[in-house]
Amino acid sequence: MTSNFRAFPIVALLTILSLPLVVMYGFTILDSVTDTEPGSLVPTEFTVHHWRFLWDDTTGRGSVWTATLNTFIFAGSTAAIVCATSLTSAYALSRLNFPARRFFLAGVIILHAFPTITLIIAIFLILQFLGLFDTLIGVIMVKAALELPFGIWVMKGFYDTVPWEIEMAGVQDGASRFIVWHKLVLPQVQPGLSALLIFSFLSGWSEFILPLVLAPGSDAQVLSTYLAYFLLDDSLEVDFNLFKSVGLFYALPVILIYLIFQKKLMNIYGGGSKG
């Protein structure tokens, strides 16, 4: 009881600070299923008209389901490439003492320091040269490359916490280096891998600048650019309730992912342990 009483001021402060966000989200949900008279906060009627984008092309830029599929492909492929490459690269950086290792590590972190927008012109020219401009695979390759430095550093930190004794015991028992890595080391860094997979997926899901600039066509559009065109396209009359509905549809998978994998996200700092 005493512990709960001591925590009450902190809970109360956080509740007060979070209240504007909660009210905003509440009105967003309410406005997506109601109509309100101008100047009033009280809804006049319930309607599903603001969700018509689910069965009707309201922007002239294709179906929302095509954009949703492209977004899942974009985010899922980015996460898979980042995780697969980071697993092996980070292990080599953590366990192998090869020439120029320190310079490579410094280069990796420097690459992550550059904002995406500062590289967009060079990336645009490269994709044009490769014939991958305005294609989903081109944006996936760019996003994965930009996320790799973060993935490598995260996984290297987890590999560094795995005791050498675990690997040495496997080698002494006659296991190959690959078997030691696959059977003994990977289970120790599973929390980091799970967190990296989720973060990479969410980063791809929320990406806006790269798809907007590098894949402007409707065939490769994702939900972020689909949502933006409700405000950016001058030929469309701005319907804020429709905009809120699309925003909720865009946010639902992220909310579900967090609810399902929140324990994995809370264990991101759990690495290997001695024993």
> Quick one: pLDDT at residue 5?
61
| Cβ contacts of 111-114, under 8 Å, gap ≥ 24 | 111/149, 112/149, 112/150, 112/153
* DSSP string for residues in 29-82: HHHTSEEE-TT--SEEEE-SGGGGGGTS-SSSS--HHHHHHHHHHHHHHHHHHH
Is the residue at 117 inside a domain?
A: yes
Q: Is the pTM of this model over 0.75?
A: yes
The number of distinct structural domains making up the chain is 1
> Quick one: pLDDT at residue 273?
43
Is the residue at 110 inside a domain?
A: yes
Domain encompassing residue 85:
62-270
Is the residue at 98 inside a domain?
A: yes
We report the CATH number of the domain holding residue 234 as: 1.10.3720.10
> Quick one: pLDDT at residue 175?
80
d(CA 79, CA 83): 6
d(CA 230, CA 211): 16
Is the residue at 27 inside a domain?
A: no
Is the residue at 237 inside a domain?
A: yes
Q: SS3 for 119?
A: helix
Is the residue at 48 inside a domain?
A: no
Is the residue at 54 inside a domain?
A: no
Is the residue at 170 inside a domain?
A: yes
What is the end-to-end Cα distance of the chain in Å, rounded? 37
- Render each residue's pLDDT in the chain as its tens digit; 275 residues: 455 567 778 888 888 998 988 888 888 888 888 888 777 777 788 888 888 888 887 666 678 899 999 999 999 999 999 999 999 989 888 888 878 777 877 777 787 777 888 888 899 999 999 999 999 999 999 999 999 988 998 898 899 888 888 888 888 888 888 888 888 888 888 888 888 998 899 999 999 999 999 988 878 889 999 888 877 766 667 778 888 898 999 999 888 888 887 776 665 554 444 43
> Quick one: pLDDT at residue 165?
85
